[in-house]
Amino acid sequence: MNLTICMVAYSKKFTDTTSFNQLNNFDSSVKKQLNLIIFDNGIENFTDEKLPDDFASVSYQFNTDKNERGTRIAYQYALTNMHDSWLMLLDDDTLLTENYVKDLLTEMPTAVVDAFCPQIFDEKIQISPTDSETIENLYFPKKPGIYTENITGISSGLVLSKKFMTEIDGFTKEFPLDYLDHWIFWQLRQHKKRIKIIDEKIQHQLSVQHLTGLSKERFAKIFTAEYHYYQHYQPEQLYSIRKKYGKMMVKGWLKGNIFLAKTFLKILLGKK
């Protein structure tokens, strides 16, 4: 049984990305069981780049859609075009380990779960998976095991059953990029699906852990998507989110950061 991997590339040539090089350095016996789809959201088309020939298959798709440049369009493309039963979602800056993929290939044929994920760390902090019933989820990391409730996480490294994703009509256009991962985990919880955390630690740098390095546009999009998610999918946490944004707004005014203050004010008022 093979595994389809959808690797989403952005600002770099895909051959220069961390994830591609991790995959390319795997043992040939592992690569022969991987169907790699490279979906490029960058500005330069690398269709003519030579692709490795020691995977089960490798395909390259350059995104020509000028409006949607996030992960959703990539994942949906992979879901529509894959022939395997399992799909891994992968950012281009994740230090994917061969042990994790080997564990997946061993477990997939007899799996009684609908999703797999590793333990994802940003340096020493486990950022995924975590509790879903609090907005302070980084304080409540999940241990290896099988879960059906109170679990969320990021999408990179997440492996999903094609059957389940097809049943829910694929990846929603509601979240083109940010908070699509939380929506996926919400769907899994809502449908009482089993999620297995594999005992393997993987490194990945999470954008929201490094806010000072984000552009103003990216910053605003992340928190707008977060607010929309909690408004429509976990309204029980909305008071906590509003309180958090209120504090950040006041902090922005006091420190003279007008952009920060105005961003959270607009989100709270529902203005674009």
- pLDDT by residue (tens digit) across 235-247? 999 999 999 999 9
Q: Contact, 6 vs 81, CB < 8 A?
A: no
For residue 204, give the 3-state DSSP assignment: strand
Q: Which of 207, 230, 253 is the last residue of a domain?
A: 207
- pLDDT by residue (tens digit) across 66-101? 999 999 999 999 999 999 999 999 999 999 999 999
Q: Which of 168, 189, 207 is the last residue of a domain?
A: 207
pLDDT of 212 over the 80 cut: no
pLDDT of 202 over the 90 cut: yes
pLDDT of 155 over the 90 cut: yes
Average pLDDT for residues 127-142, to the nearest whole number? 96
pLDDT of 126 over the 70 cut: yes
| DSSP H helical ranges for the chain | 18-24, 28-31, 71-81, 98-107, 162-167, 180-190, 216-232, 238-254, 258-269
Average pLDDT for residues 127-137, to the nearest whole number? 96
Whole-number pLDDT of residue 244: 95
Can you give the residue range of the structural domain that contains 123? 3-207
Q: Is 168 found in the same domain as 36?
A: yes
pLDDT of 136 over the 90 cut: yes
Q: Which of 157, 188, 207 is the last residue of a domain?
A: 207
Residue whose C-alpha is closest to residue 122's, from 91, 100, 99: 91
Q: Contact, 129 vs 197, CB < 8 A?
A: yes
CA distance 71 to 90: 9
pLDDT of 102 over the 90 cut: yes
Q: Is 225 found in the same domain as 260?
A: yes
Q: How confident is the model at residue 206 (pLDDT cuts 50, 70, 90)?
A: confident
Residue whose C-alpha is closest to residue 111's, from 161, 145, 158: 161
Whole-number pLDDT of residue 11: 83
Whole-number pLDDT of residue 64: 95
Average pLDDT for residues 43-47, to the nearest whole number? 95
Q: What is the CATH number of the domain that holds 17?
A: 3.90.550.10
Q: Is 170 found in the same domain as 72?
A: yes
Q: How many domains, in total, are found in the chain?
A: 2
Average pLDDT for residues 134-153, to the nearest whole number? 96
Q: Is 239 found in the same domain as 203?
A: no
- What is the bridge-based pairing of β-strands 195-204 and 145-147? antiparallel
